[in-house]
Protein backbone atom coordinates (compact mmCIF):
# COMPACT_ATOMS: atom_id res chain seq x y z
CA UNK A 1 0.00 0.00 0.00
CA UNK A 2 1.96 3.04 -1.23
CA UNK A 3 2.46 5.81 1.28
CA UNK A 4 1.45 3.74 4.32
CA UNK A 5 4.42 5.23 6.20
CA UNK A 6 5.55 8.74 5.27
CA UNK A 7 9.26 9.32 5.90
CA UNK A 8 10.74 12.77 6.37
CA UNK A 9 14.48 13.32 6.87
CA UNK A 10 16.31 16.34 8.19
CA UNK A 11 19.80 16.64 9.68
CA UNK A 12 19.99 13.02 10.79
CA UNK A 13 16.46 13.00 12.25
CA UNK A 14 13.90 10.77 10.55
CA UNK A 15 10.17 11.15 11.14
CA UNK A 16 8.03 8.13 10.30
CA UNK A 17 4.34 8.99 10.13
CA UNK A 18 1.73 6.24 9.98
CA UNK A 19 -0.54 7.45 7.19
CA UNK A 20 -3.79 5.54 7.58
CA UNK A 21 -6.06 8.03 9.35
CA UNK A 22 -8.20 8.35 11.27
CA UNK A 23 -7.00 5.47 13.51
CA UNK A 24 -3.99 4.03 11.60
CA UNK A 25 -5.28 0.49 12.04
CA UNK A 26 -2.58 -2.08 11.39
CA UNK A 27 -3.15 -4.42 8.45
CA UNK A 28 -0.75 -6.36 6.21
CA UNK A 29 0.23 -3.46 3.92
CA UNK A 30 0.93 -1.01 6.74
CA UNK A 31 2.83 -3.70 8.66
CA UNK A 32 4.99 -4.43 5.60
CA UNK A 33 5.63 -0.74 5.02
CA UNK A 34 6.70 -0.23 8.64
CA UNK A 35 9.14 -3.12 8.46
CA UNK A 36 10.58 -2.03 5.11
CA UNK A 37 11.03 1.51 6.41
CA UNK A 38 13.05 0.46 9.44
CA UNK A 39 15.06 -2.18 7.60
CA UNK A 40 16.06 0.55 5.15
CA UNK A 41 16.86 3.09 7.88
CA UNK A 42 18.97 0.55 9.77
CA UNK A 43 21.38 0.49 6.82
CA UNK A 44 21.92 4.26 6.94
CA UNK A 45 24.67 5.31 9.38
CA UNK A 46 23.68 8.97 9.09
CA UNK A 47 20.42 8.41 11.01
CA UNK A 48 20.79 9.87 14.51
CA UNK A 49 17.27 9.37 15.85
CA UNK A 50 13.85 8.41 14.50
CA UNK A 51 10.35 9.43 15.53
CA UNK A 52 7.25 7.25 15.04
CA UNK A 53 3.93 9.11 15.08
CA UNK A 54 0.43 8.69 13.71
CA UNK A 55 -1.70 10.91 11.52
CA UNK A 56 -5.35 11.60 12.21
CA UNK A 57 -6.97 10.99 15.60
CA UNK A 58 -4.57 8.35 16.94
CA UNK A 59 -1.07 6.98 17.12
CA UNK A 60 -2.58 3.64 16.17
CA UNK A 61 -5.62 1.91 17.64
CA UNK A 62 -4.12 -1.52 16.92
CA UNK A 63 -4.95 -4.30 14.49
CA UNK A 64 -7.83 -3.97 12.08
CA UNK A 65 -10.39 -6.39 13.51
CA UNK A 66 -11.71 -7.03 9.99
CA UNK A 67 -8.34 -8.68 9.29
CA UNK A 68 -8.43 -10.72 12.50
CA UNK A 69 -11.99 -11.98 12.08
CA UNK A 70 -11.46 -14.31 9.12
CA UNK A 71 -8.09 -15.86 9.99
CA UNK A 72 -7.44 -19.55 10.44
CA UNK A 73 -4.51 -20.86 12.52
CA UNK A 74 -2.03 -20.86 9.60
CA UNK A 75 -2.90 -17.34 8.46
CA UNK A 76 -2.89 -16.15 12.07
CA UNK A 77 0.67 -17.44 12.45
CA UNK A 78 1.72 -15.70 9.23
CA UNK A 79 0.13 -12.40 10.29
CA UNK A 80 1.61 -12.35 13.78
CA UNK A 81 5.02 -13.32 12.39
CA UNK A 82 4.94 -10.39 9.96
CA UNK A 83 3.87 -8.07 12.78
CA UNK A 84 6.67 -9.38 14.98
CA UNK A 85 9.20 -8.78 12.21
CA UNK A 86 8.01 -5.19 11.74
CA UNK A 87 7.99 -4.29 15.43
CA UNK A 88 11.31 -6.08 15.98
CA UNK A 89 12.84 -3.90 13.26
CA UNK A 90 11.83 -0.86 15.31
CA UNK A 91 13.01 -2.39 18.58
CA UNK A 92 16.39 -3.43 17.18
CA UNK A 93 17.05 -0.24 15.19
CA UNK A 94 20.69 0.84 15.68
CA UNK A 95 19.54 4.36 16.57
CA UNK A 96 17.12 5.62 19.25
CA UNK A 97 13.42 5.68 18.38
CA UNK A 98 10.97 8.08 20.00
CA UNK A 99 7.24 7.35 19.96
CA UNK A 100 5.12 10.51 19.76
CA UNK A 101 1.77 9.22 21.00
CA UNK A 102 -1.70 10.74 20.89
CA UNK A 103 -5.29 9.53 20.87
CA UNK A 104 -5.50 5.74 20.98
CA UNK A 105 -2.38 3.61 21.47
CA UNK A 106 -3.83 0.13 21.72
CA UNK A 107 -3.04 -3.50 21.05
CA UNK A 108 -0.36 -3.93 18.42
CA UNK A 109 -0.04 -0.14 18.37
CA UNK A 110 0.87 -0.17 22.06
CA UNK A 111 3.38 -2.94 21.35
CA UNK A 112 4.89 -0.69 18.67
CA UNK A 113 5.19 2.11 21.23
CA UNK A 114 6.78 -0.31 23.74
CA UNK A 115 9.35 -1.24 21.09
CA UNK A 116 10.45 2.39 20.92
CA UNK A 117 13.07 3.60 23.37
CA UNK A 118 11.26 6.73 24.60
CA UNK A 119 7.57 7.62 24.64
CA UNK A 120 6.16 11.16 24.71
CA UNK A 121 2.37 11.26 25.10
CA UNK A 122 -0.36 13.84 24.73
CA UNK A 123 -2.75 14.24 27.64
CA UNK A 124 -5.90 12.28 26.86
CA UNK A 125 -4.03 9.39 25.24
CA UNK A 126 -5.26 5.92 26.19
CA UNK A 127 -2.83 3.00 26.18
CA UNK A 128 -3.66 -0.65 26.55
CA UNK A 129 -3.75 -4.23 25.33
CA UNK A 130 -7.40 -5.17 24.76
CA UNK A 131 -6.72 -8.39 22.83
CA UNK A 132 -8.29 -10.73 25.38
CA UNK A 133 -11.57 -8.90 24.81
CA UNK A 134 -11.61 -10.07 21.19
CA UNK A 135 -10.44 -13.61 21.87
CA UNK A 136 -6.65 -13.57 21.50
CA UNK A 137 -3.75 -13.07 23.93
CA UNK A 138 -1.39 -10.12 23.78
CA UNK A 139 1.94 -11.34 22.41
CA UNK A 140 5.35 -10.29 20.99
CA UNK A 141 6.43 -6.91 22.44
CA UNK A 142 3.82 -7.20 25.19
CA UNK A 143 6.61 -9.25 26.81
CA UNK A 144 8.35 -5.93 27.53
CA UNK A 145 5.48 -4.87 29.81
CA UNK A 146 6.22 -6.82 33.07
CA UNK A 147 9.81 -5.53 33.50
CA UNK A 148 8.61 -2.03 32.66
CA UNK A 149 5.66 -1.71 35.07
CA UNK A 150 5.98 -4.77 37.32
CA UNK A 151 4.24 -8.14 37.13
CA UNK A 152 1.08 -7.14 39.00
CA UNK A 153 0.29 -4.08 36.89
CA UNK A 154 1.21 -5.97 33.71
CA UNK A 155 -1.10 -8.84 34.68
CA UNK A 156 -3.96 -6.41 35.29
CA UNK A 157 -3.56 -4.82 31.86
CA UNK A 158 -3.09 -8.13 30.06
CA UNK A 159 -5.85 -10.12 31.78
CA UNK A 160 -8.57 -7.45 31.80
CA UNK A 161 -7.71 -5.64 28.58
CA UNK A 162 -8.45 -2.38 30.38
CA UNK A 163 -6.53 0.68 29.12
CA UNK A 164 -4.76 3.29 31.21
CA UNK A 165 -4.80 7.02 30.60
CA UNK A 166 -1.69 9.09 29.99
CA UNK A 167 -1.47 10.25 33.59
CA UNK A 168 -1.51 6.69 34.92
CA UNK A 169 0.93 5.66 32.20
CA UNK A 170 3.36 8.33 33.36
CA UNK A 171 2.98 7.22 36.99
CA UNK A 172 3.68 3.61 35.98
CA UNK A 173 6.66 4.46 33.77
CA UNK A 174 4.95 3.49 30.51
CA UNK A 175 5.66 6.93 29.05
CA UNK A 176 8.46 9.42 29.70
CA UNK A 177 6.49 12.65 29.41
CA UNK A 178 2.88 13.79 29.17
CA UNK A 179 2.11 17.19 27.67
CA UNK A 180 -0.93 19.07 26.40
CA UNK A 181 -1.98 17.84 22.95
CA UNK A 182 -0.96 21.12 21.33
CA UNK A 183 2.52 20.78 22.88
CA UNK A 184 3.17 17.21 21.71
CA UNK A 185 5.18 18.14 18.61
CA UNK A 186 7.36 20.59 20.55
CA UNK A 187 7.96 18.11 23.39
CA UNK A 188 8.90 15.41 20.89
CA UNK A 189 11.31 17.81 19.17
CA UNK A 190 12.85 18.66 22.54
CA UNK A 191 13.46 14.98 23.29
CA UNK A 192 14.91 14.42 19.82
CA UNK A 193 17.21 17.45 20.17
CA UNK A 194 18.50 16.20 23.52
CA UNK A 195 19.39 12.82 21.99
CA UNK A 196 20.89 14.36 18.85
CA UNK A 197 23.11 16.64 20.96
CA UNK A 198 24.96 13.64 22.38
CA UNK A 199 27.92 11.91 20.73
CA UNK A 200 26.62 10.03 17.65
CA UNK A 201 28.73 6.88 17.95
CA UNK A 202 28.23 6.71 21.71
CA UNK A 203 24.45 6.94 21.27
CA UNK A 204 24.50 4.04 18.81
CA UNK A 205 26.64 1.99 21.18
CA UNK A 206 24.25 2.83 24.01
CA UNK A 207 21.21 1.83 21.94
CA UNK A 208 22.83 -1.51 21.13
CA UNK A 209 23.45 -2.08 24.83
CA UNK A 210 19.88 -1.16 25.78
CA UNK A 211 18.58 -3.87 23.47
CA UNK A 212 21.16 -6.41 24.68
CA UNK A 213 20.37 -5.66 28.32
CA UNK A 214 16.72 -6.50 27.69
CA UNK A 215 17.62 -9.80 26.06
CA UNK A 216 20.65 -11.02 28.04
CA UNK A 217 21.41 -12.46 31.44
CA UNK A 218 23.11 -9.97 33.76
CA UNK A 219 26.70 -11.29 33.38
CA UNK A 220 26.42 -11.21 29.57
CA UNK A 221 24.92 -7.71 29.70
CA UNK A 222 27.80 -6.46 31.86
CA UNK A 223 30.40 -7.99 29.54
CA UNK A 224 28.71 -6.32 26.56
CA UNK A 225 29.00 -3.02 28.38
CA UNK A 226 32.73 -3.49 28.88
CA UNK A 227 33.19 -4.15 25.17
CA UNK A 228 31.08 -1.11 24.23
CA UNK A 229 33.11 1.15 26.52
CA UNK A 230 36.32 0.05 24.83
CA UNK A 231 34.76 0.39 21.38
CA UNK A 232 33.86 4.00 22.11
CA UNK A 233 37.56 4.86 22.25
CA UNK A 234 37.98 3.74 18.65
CA UNK A 235 35.68 6.59 17.58
CA UNK A 236 37.54 9.59 19.00
CA UNK A 237 34.41 10.82 20.75
CA UNK A 238 35.67 10.29 24.33
CA UNK A 239 38.71 12.49 23.65
CA UNK A 240 36.56 15.25 22.18
CA UNK A 241 33.98 14.96 24.95
CA UNK A 242 36.60 15.19 27.69
CA UNK A 243 38.37 18.08 25.97
CA UNK A 244 35.12 20.02 25.59
CA UNK A 245 34.29 19.48 29.26
CA UNK A 246 37.71 20.63 30.44
CA UNK A 247 37.74 23.61 28.07
CA UNK A 248 34.16 24.56 29.04
CA UNK A 249 32.86 24.54 25.46
CA UNK A 250 30.25 22.55 23.52
CA UNK A 251 31.63 19.34 22.00
CA UNK A 252 32.22 19.24 18.26
CA UNK A 253 31.04 15.80 17.23
CA UNK A 254 32.03 14.43 13.84
CA UNK A 255 29.12 13.51 11.54
CA UNK A 256 28.06 9.87 11.51
CA UNK A 257 29.48 7.88 8.63
Q: Are 44 and 50 in contact (CB under 8 A)?
A: no
Give the Cα separation of 174 and 146 in Å (integer): 11
Catalytic amino acids? Answer: 111, 131
Radius of gyration for the chain, computed over Cα atoms and rounded to the nearest angstrom: 19
Q: Where are the beta strands (DSSP E) in the chain?
A: 5-10, 13-18, 49-54, 97-101, 104-106, 118-122, 126-128, 164-165, 177-179
Q: Are 82 and 140 in contact (CB under 8 A)?
A: no
For 255, how many CA atoms within 13 A lie in the half-sphere containing its CB? 7
Give the Cα separation of 92 and 82 in Å (integer): 15
Amino acid sequence: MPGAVRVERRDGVVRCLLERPPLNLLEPALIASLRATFVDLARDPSVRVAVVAGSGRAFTAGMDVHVLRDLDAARARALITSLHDAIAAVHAAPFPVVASVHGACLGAGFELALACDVRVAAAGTVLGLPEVRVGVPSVIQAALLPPLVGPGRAAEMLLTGAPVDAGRALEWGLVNRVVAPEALAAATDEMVAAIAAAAPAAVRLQKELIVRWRESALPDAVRAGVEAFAAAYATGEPREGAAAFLEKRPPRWSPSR
